[in-house]
Every structure is written in structure tokens, then in C-alpha cells.
Amino acid sequence: MDDVPFIRYFLNSLLITTVLTVVQVVLGIITAFALVFLHYPGRRIVFLFVVASLMVPNQVTVISNYALVAELNWRNTFAGIIIPLAGVAFGTFLMRNHFASLPREIVESAHLDGTGPFRLLFRILLPMSWPTVVAFTLITIVTEWNQYLWPFLMADTASVAPLPVGLTLLQNNEGSTNWGPVMAGTILTMIPILIVFLILQKQMIKGLTAGAVKG
């Protein structure tokens, strides 16, 4: 246990999850807003690409992404782990459907008052969308905190390896498995996610069911 820098892994996971959550939530909201409230040629085609990307498993892109990251010398860096995972297809789809379900009268009234796009988004739409944004955020946190395959391929050192990879190294430490530290590390890995879920679970349920209720 002393040979494995568990605190380093924990901090790496915290950094990677935080950055990915912020990037994905911001990009997902902005992209969904553009798909629903901005009018430009090819808007429906862009949405079809978003839907199509949801049907492609992440494992399909591993080889091409690995080759690109290796060519850029990004292995064993946070950029090499974070950037390929920053896609927002699910979040864009979720927020787009939510924005499309909002009453059009409110948006039309805002336009009549001369409200610009940014003010419409941040002053009107987001306050109405808080449960869905929370659900999106919580799903993203859980997903990115538990990422294993890509960080495992990218991280060979403890300086950037997140917790799931660190637990693998802990399990294989010295060629044998010391189950006491492994179980302790697993429990400590679960605690942050459980705390976040307990705090946000009501908002998450509201966000995921709002569209179904309105429909």
C-alpha cells in the first residue's frame, strides 16, 4: 500500500473529472442551445450527426485516437487523457430535447423584448432547466470518475493515472493481491460519487423525468 501513491491517484481523478465535467456541461448546453434556438443552414444535419455519434461505441475510436495522441506526444499527460474524452453527444442530446420542450411563448416574449442569445440562455432558459442541468452534470461526473480503458492506455505513471488505473496497479502490486488495501481503496473511490449522488439525486430524477412528464 505504501508503494502506491493513492492520494496522487485520487487528486488525478479529481482533476480529470472536474475538467471533463465543466467542459462537457458547457459545450453540451451551448451546442443544444444552438440546435434549438439559432437558425442556420444544416442545423438538422448537425443534430443527425450528434444522434449518430451516440450509436458508435467509444471502443471503436480507441485505435485512431491512440495513434493521434501518440503522434502528438500526449501520452502520460492530462491533455492526452482529457481531450479525447471531451465529446458531448449525450449531453447535447439531453439538453436539446429539454430546450425543445420548453414553452415557446416564453422564448417568443423574450425575443419581442429584444433579449439577445446570451441573455436568453443565462437569464431565462438555464434557470428553467436547473434539474436537467443537474442530471446532466451528475451523469457526467459518474461516467468520467469511473473511466478506465482510455486512461489505462494513456497513463503509465502515477503522475497522471486516475483512481481506476491506480486500483489496478494496487491489485497487482508486487505480483500478488493484497485484498485489504484493494477493498479499502475501492470503498474510498466510491465515497465521493455516493456523496455527490445523495446531494443531487432529487434534482437528477426531476431532470430525467421532466421531458417525459411534459410529453
Read off the pLDDT of each residue in 2-6 and give the average, rounded to a whole number: 66
- Percentage, residues of the chain above pLDDT 90: 33
Q: Which three cell numbers stand for residue 154?
A: 494513456
Q: What is the pLDDT of residues 15-70, one digit of tens each?
A: 999 999 999 999 999 999 999 988 888 888 998 988 888 888 878 889 999 999 99
User: Is the predicted pLDDT of residue 116 greater than 80, yes or no?
Assistant: yes
pLDDT at 194 (0 to 100): 84
User: Is the predicted pLDDT of residue 214 greater than 50, yes or no?
Assistant: no
User: Is the predicted pLDDT of residue 210 greater than 60, yes or no?
Assistant: no
Read off the pLDDT of each residue in 84-103 and give the average, rounded to a whole number: 89
pLDDT at 165 (0 to 100): 87
Read off the pLDDT of each residue in 147-158 and give the average, rounded to a whole number: 89
pLDDT at 177 (0 to 100): 62
| Spatial separation of the C-alpha atoms in residues 57 and 87, rounded to whole Å | 12
More confident residue, 173 or 186: 186
pLDDT at 68 (0 to 100): 93
User: Is the predicted pLDDT of residue 84 greater than 70, yes or no?
Assistant: yes
CB 146 within 8 A of CB 84: no
Read off the pLDDT of each residue in 138-143 and give the average, rounded to a whole number: 90
Please identify which residue in the block is written with the cell numbers 436568453: 120
User: What amino acid is encoded at 49 in this protein?
Assistant: F
Q: Tell me the domains of the chain and their CATH numbers.
A: 6-214 (1.10.3720.10)
Backbone φ, ψ for residue 12 (5° rounding): -60, -45
More confident residue, 29 or 212: 29
Mean pLDDT, the chain, rounded, equals 84
Half-sphere exposure of 30 (CA within 13 A, CB side): 7
pLDDT at 60 (0 to 100): 85
Which of 45, 35, 152, 42 shows the shortest CA–CA distance to 91? 35
pTM: 0.84
